[in-house]
Chains A and B, each alone.
Chain A
């Protein structure tokens, strides 16, 4: 296809992506270098019958004017990146200096908002992704053995947790684990502890969020694996049987190698999706015990005082994280591409 025609065809799509994906990234980069204006303070004197005292007042008008003239705020360089809310360089150095032992240091670090969010995001990503793959494969093997008649309805039901809006899915589970909800109550009875609440402790909140994540994503892995199972070469399976392979050995040495490319595909998708975990934290109201990178950006942007600079700095760090996550994939694809051309 000539370059010119190609350009015409791709133009609308490309324009949309440049305007609303590439430009915002540039905008985030610029915003992250600025911070909000300080309020304009006027020094004055208040004089009463007993003499004058110096006072400070906020000049509301001048502050508003300043905001209007320079909506970005004032230039701050990399200051926002290094402050307590983000990389917290000074706090880290302090913590390292005064803490006795690695455990103490880590618990101090976990009090810093950025590292707290990063820890949860990474844990979520790297715990949910493998669990989803294992559970998805197990369900696919199970469903594959069902009588034909039952397969359709089973797939229908299995799709539900994945298709449902993440916020709604997490709300549905949140209401069930509420201390007055069905699961919450049942757990209280089982553990004989009327004060048991899944929302109270950080550990339990993390576990609940991870369970939600697996519940939500397992159907995706299941469907992909199930489709893969339909194309497992029958001859190889029979050959393995004749050679005396047990069922487990057939799964291990024929089915799983056949599925390997699918595992790569699912992990790539899951890493990308789990890294931006966000809605479950809103749905489970879990922000006290678990925050993710996406969530702290969201909470910076909400509220009366929107902190664009702070949100932008976290966004840049998140984008950096995505880049690191994707590098192996990109390198691999690049090699494949070159091999194909060669």
Chain B
């Protein structure tokens, strides 16, 4: 950094660096601490005597014979059937992402290429829909779904999540398709392709970066959802997040809050991996909306 405008005084460097370090600690420490604590027993992680017990695992050694224990994980995954919730989450997330991307690419492409006023209005309506609190929509679903016996099944939750996802997916892919030059598909149509053929043979091969970025956010929405999955799925079909919430109701009484801690760590691990591999796409996705203004 030799550019003059970037040169800064030492005091400022010290100040801004320590500020960033403080932020990094704030952002990372809760996760590190919970990961560490998930291998301890409750008497250490929630120590009545001395919080440093959680570091050395005094009670963990006394109760299990070693400084680390997998009891929380065993309890959650095996005793409480957390694996079933993981499986359900996998199904819900995979289908939600695939269906929302399919619908979203078609719709986003149409919105980007239509010059009519109604395309703008559709985008505005999508923005309003994007702002709807999910729980208000859920309160609209519940009674009809009970009446039509749709309540409790995985496909119901999937299609609802797809719909809730659409406004965001449309916006994102719409702005992405705007960046693909119009000439590309229009020249294909001059050569005799129909609009759909042009989309199929010209646009699809070049759209993957945008689709992957949008897919990441669809994944996050489906994976992180609590309102829809907690209210619309029956006990057997529960996904991870409502399952963790239900641990709290029952386990705090039994003194097995460690099950919930272990489940929380298990559910965070995939997100961790996601940022590892897709950091660039997530960053570009977050800024995609902003760059357009």
**A residues neighboring B (CB under 8 Å):** 1, 3, 5-6, 8-10, 12-14, 16-17, 19-28, 31, 71-72, 138-139, 141-143, 145-146, 152, 154-161, 163-169, 171-173, 175-176, 178, 180-182, 185-186, 215, 219-220, 223-224, 227-228, 234, 237-238, 240-241, 247, 250, 261-262, 264-266, 269, 272, 275-276, 278-279, 282, 285, 293-294, 297-298, 300-302, 306, 308, 311-312, 314-315, 318-319, 322-323, 325-326, 329-330, 333-334, 337
Question: B205 on the interface (CB 8 Å rule)?
Answer: no
24 contacts between A and B (CB under 8 A): A1-B115, A3-B116, A12-B102, A13-B103, A20-B137, A27-B140, A31-B143, A142-B16, A145-B17, A156-B276, A160-B275, A165-B224, A165-B226, A165-B241, A165-B271, A168-B241, A175-B37, A175-B261, A181-B45, A185-B47, A223-B286, A228-B287, A262-B290, A329-B127
Distance of B46 from chain A, by nearest CB (Å): 4
Please tell me if the beta carbons of A10 and B226 are within 8 angstroms of each other in the complex: no
Please, how many angstroms separate the alpha-carbon atoms of A8 and B107 in the complex?
A: 9
Please, how many angstroms separate the alpha-carbon atoms of A20 and B241 in the complex?
A: 22
Please tell me if the beta carbons of B241 and A330 are within 8 angstroms of each other in the complex: no
Q: Which of B67-75, B76-84, B128-136, B206-214 contacts A (4 or more CB under 8 A)?
A: B128-136
In the complex, residue of chain A having the shortest beta-carbon distance to the beta carbon of B108: A13
Distance of B73 from chain A, by nearest CB (Å): 16
Please tell me if the beta carbons of A28 and B31 are within 8 angstroms of each other in the complex: no
Evaluate whether A20 and B124 lie within 8 angstroms (CB atoms) in the complex, with A14-B107, A167-B241 already known: no
In the complex, residue of chain B having the shortest beta-carbon distance to the beta carbon of A329: B127
Please, how many angstroms separate the alpha-carbon atoms of A234 and B1 in the complex?
A: 13
Distance of A260 from chain B, by nearest CB (Å): 10
Question: B12 on the interface (CB 8 Å rule)?
Answer: yes
Which residues of chain B have C-beta atoms less than 8 A from A297's C-beta?
133, 135-136, 138-139
Partner of B142, one of A161, A165, A272, A306: A306
Distance of B203 from chain A, by nearest CB (Å): 11
Please tell me if the beta carbons of A20 and B51 are within 8 angstroms of each other in the complex: no
Partner of B19, one of A138, A156, A269, A301: A138
Binding site secondary structure of chain B: helix
Evaluate whether A238 and B140 lie within 8 angstroms (CB atoms) in the complex, with A16-B162, A17-B166 already known: no
Distance of A118 from chain B, by nearest CB (Å): 13
Please, how many angstroms separate the alpha-carbon atoms of A142 and B13 in the complex?
A: 9
Question: B114 on the interface (CB 8 Å rule)?
Answer: yes
Evaluate whether A333 and B139 lie within 8 angstroms (CB atoms) in the complex, with A9-B107, A14-B107 already known: no
Please, how many angstroms separate the alpha-carbon atoms of A323 and B122 in the complex?
A: 16
Evaluate whether A5 and B271 lie within 8 angstroms (CB atoms) in the complex, with A16-B103, A21-B129, A167-B244 already known: no
Which residues of chain B have C-beta atoms less than 8 A from A247's C-beta?
8-9, 12
Interface residues on B, range: 35 or more
Please tell me if the beta carbons of A9 and B109 are within 8 angstroms of each other in the complex: yes
Please, how many angstroms separate the alpha-carbon atoms of A298 and B282 in the complex?
A: 31
Please tell me if the beta carbons of B142 and A301 are within 8 angstroms of each other in the complex: yes
Please, how many angstroms separate the alpha-carbon atoms of A185 and B52 in the complex?
A: 10
Partner of A21, one of B34, B132, B169, B241: B132
Please tell me if the beta carbons of A157 and B195 are within 8 angstroms of each other in the complex: no
Evaluate whether A156 and B139 lie within 8 angstroms (CB atoms) in the complex, with A20-B163, A166-B224, A168-B244 already known: no
Please tell me if the beta carbons of B287 and A223 are within 8 angstroms of each other in the complex: yes
Please, how many angstroms separate the alpha-carbon atoms of A151 and B26 in the complex?
A: 17
Please, how many angstroms separate the alpha-carbon atoms of A163 and B166 in the complex?
A: 20
Please tell me if the beta carbons of B139 and A16 are within 8 angstroms of each other in the complex: no
Q: Which of B92-120 contact A (CB under 8 A)?
A: 102-104, 106-107, 109-111, 113-116, 119-120
Which residues of chain A have C-beta atoms less than 8 A from B111's C-beta?
10
Distance of A86 from chain B, by nearest CB (Å): 14
Please tell me if the beta carbons of B103 and A12 are within 8 angstroms of each other in the complex: yes
Question: B5 on the interface (CB 8 Å rule)?
Answer: yes
Which residues of chain B have C-beta atoms less than 8 A from A223's C-beta?
283, 286-287
Which residues of chain B have C-beta atoms less than 8 A from A334's C-beta?
124
Please tell me if the beta carbons of B245 and A172 are within 8 angstroms of each other in the complex: no
Q: Which of B251-269 contact A (CB under 8 A)?
A: 257, 260-261, 264, 267-268
Please tell me if the beta carbons of B33 and A337 are within 8 angstroms of each other in the complex: no
Partner of B159, one of A9, A16, A186: A16
Please tell me if the beta carbons of A13 and B107 are within 8 angstroms of each other in the complex: yes
Partner of A154, one of B24, B167, B196, B290: B24
Please tell me if the beta carbons of B13 and A145 are within 8 angstroms of each other in the complex: yes
Evaluate whether A10 and B107 lie within 8 angstroms (CB atoms) in the complex, with A21-B132, A301-B139 already known: yes
**Top-5 shortest CB links A-B:** A24-B140, A20-B163, A13-B107, A9-B110, A276-B133
Distance of B223 from chain A, by nearest CB (Å): 7
Interface bits B20-50 vs A (CB < 8 Å: 1, else 0): 1001101110110110010000000111100
Which residues of chain B have C-beta atoms less than 8 A from A325's C-beta?
131
Evaluate whether A168 and B140 lie within 8 angstroms (CB atoms) in the complex, with A9-B107, A12-B103, A175-B45 already known: no
